[in-house]
Every structure is written in C-alpha cells, then in structure tokens.
C-alpha cells in the first residue's frame, strides 16, 4: 500500500493549480465558494491565470507552480482545478523526492491520471481521483460530500445505493486501486511512468471516445500484458461514447470476463454529475457477488 497523506483540518490552506489545459479564471468563483463551504483557505497558483497556447502556462511555469505548492509548508493539499491535456509534459521533470518529503493531498482526475501513476511510482504516495474544482457547480450532493474523506479517515463504501452495478465476472478481490482515465493510462505504456497493474484492482473511465477507440485502447492494455495479473476491475463512467450501455457492456465482457477475477461495471467514477472521489494506491476489497467496493482511507 502507498503511504497515506496527512489529513486536512478546517481552516487549512490548499493550493489551486492548473497542470493541464488553460483555465478561464472568471469561472473560478464557484470553486472558491465550495472551498469556503469546506472551511478551507486557498492560495491561487500562477497557472490559474497563465496561458501558453492551449496550456495553462508553459511547461516550466506549470512545473514551477506545482513545486511551489509542494514546498509551501502552509499548503496542505494541491487541487488541480481543470484537466484537458498537458500533465504528461511535466511528469519527467517533477521532483518526486521533494513530494515524498512533503507529503500532501494531490487531487484531480482525467488528464491527471498520468500524474497519479507518476506519483505512485516515484513518491510512493496515495493520491485522490476526484472531480475538478472548476466543476463544483455541476457536482451533485454525494460528490460534494466525498471531499469530507480528506478531513476524517473513513472507509469509502460504494454500493448500489449510489448507482446500479453490473457484475461481469464474479469473485472477491483485495488489492491496491490503480488507474483512472483509460486514454491516459494507455499513454503511460512504454514510459517510466507505466501503470503497474500486477495484483492491483484496475479502475478505468473515459469520455468522448467511440466504442472502437475504447476497444483499441483495451486491446493495447491487453497486448502490453497489463490485464494478465489483475486482482479485479472497476469499470467507471464511459460517457459520450455514441453507443448504448449494452454495446459498452458487451465490449467490457469480451475483455474482462475471461480473466477469472471480479469485474463490476456501473460505478459513477468519471465524467458525470455524480463523480465519486476515491483514493488511489490504497487497499480495497471488490466483492462482485454483493456488488460492494470498500476502500481504505487515503489520509492519516
């Protein structure tokens, strides 16, 4: 299991950064209002107002902003406010030892999947796969409540009370949760940040990818031998695929049913109004019979 990170206390300061696509700062108000609700103070990183083509500042600016937040003793968590594309461009230059020496909450999803993999590999820290703060106004109540896991160590339990789940393959598995956005996971292959899946429970989600593209990416994971030693699979939200749920389920069944490990689909983790935040790098139990996922706390 990865090292858990220190919890937040009301009144703590958190850092807001954009490590991917550029931000429209005028839309930041809802994010700040949400942090006010959580009783958190904030420091706004340089990247929130920076612009370099389609990125939130140059690679050097985004890297510097991240390092500034890591070094700042007042900053107890780093929230990525927007995804898009760009985090992979700085992954090779991040000082992971600095992060390991100053462990703090790192929160984001989608494009940030690349950095989740990198931080797990080189800083050995738990990270959090959760909604971007720029989407604060679009989050439903349960998604907003998931931020409370940063203040009190609590087991995250996902049952059909949240959404209907479909068992693709039965069984019970225990292992670390890894993964995130399918496209970004595939882009780690062949790099030093390559996602490690042996003995792990793999989470996948994506948006605006056609069924054929999803098939292609799963095929690449398969041929890279990333599916052979899995402990289990959590299939999150696949939105805007242009196909119905049945077609997606058929595809997932083709890839995962024969693995002999528990596989469950239907988790609202990903690009939807309900986006359940979970810690990555901690132990979890996936019970495909009972359709329950239990995840240990990511904070201490």
- Enumerate the active-site residues: 110, 205, 271
Instruction: Report the C-alpha gap between 111 and 91 in whole angstroms.
Output: 12
The tokens for 210 are 């056609």
Partners of residue 128 on adjacent β-strands: 107, 279
What are the C-alpha distances in Å from 81 to residues 18, 20, 247? 6, 9, 33
Nearest Cα to 2, choosing from 268, 282, 261, 203? 282
The 10 Å Cβ neighbour count of residue 219 is: 12
Which residue, 151, 201, 142, is CA-closest to 12? 151
Place of tokens 């696949």: 238
Distance CA 81, CA 282 (A): 23
| Burial annotation 14-50 (CB, 10 A radius, 16+ → b, else e) | bbbbbbbbbbeeeebeebbebbeebebebeebebbeb
Cα 242 to Cα 203, 209, 219: the distances in Å are: 21, 8, 19
């Amino acid at each position: 299991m990865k090292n858990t990170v220190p919890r937040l206390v009301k009144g703590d300061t958190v850092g807001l950064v954009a490590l991917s696509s550029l931000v429209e700062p005028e839309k930041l108000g809802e994010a700040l209002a949400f942090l006010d609700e959580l009783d958190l103070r904030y420091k706004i990183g340089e990247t929130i107002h920076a612009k370099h083509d389609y990125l939130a500042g140059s690679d050097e600016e985004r890297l510097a902003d991240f390092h500034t937040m890591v070094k700042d003793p007042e900053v107890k968590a780093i929230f990525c406010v927007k995804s898009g594309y760009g985090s992979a461009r700085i992954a090779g230059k991040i000082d992971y030892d600095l992060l390991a020496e100053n462990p703090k909450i790192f929160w984001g999803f989608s494009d940030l999947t690349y950095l989740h993999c990198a931080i797990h590999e080189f800083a050995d820290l738990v990270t959090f796969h959760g909604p971007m703060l720029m989407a604060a106004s679009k989050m439903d109540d349960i998604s907003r409540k998931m931020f409370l896991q940063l203040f009190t160590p609590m087991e995250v339990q996902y049952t059909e009370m949240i959404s209907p789940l479909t068992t693709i393959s039965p069984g019970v598995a225990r292992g670390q949760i890894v993964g995130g956005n399918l496209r970004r996971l595939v882009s780690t292959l062949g790099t030093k940040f390559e996602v490690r899946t042996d003995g792990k429970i793999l989470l996948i989600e994506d948006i605006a990818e056609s069924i054929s593209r999803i098939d292609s990416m799963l095929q690449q994971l398969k041929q890279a031998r990333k599916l052979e030693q899995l402990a289990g699979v959590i299939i999150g939200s696949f939105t805007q695929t242009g196909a119905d749920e049945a077609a997606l389920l058929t595809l997932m069944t083709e890839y995962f049913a024969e693995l002999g490990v528990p596989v469950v689909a239907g988790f609202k983790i990903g690009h939807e109004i309900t986006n359940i935040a979970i810690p990555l790098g901690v132990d979890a139990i996936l019970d495909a019979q009972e359709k329950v996922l239990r995840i240990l706390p990511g904070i201490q």
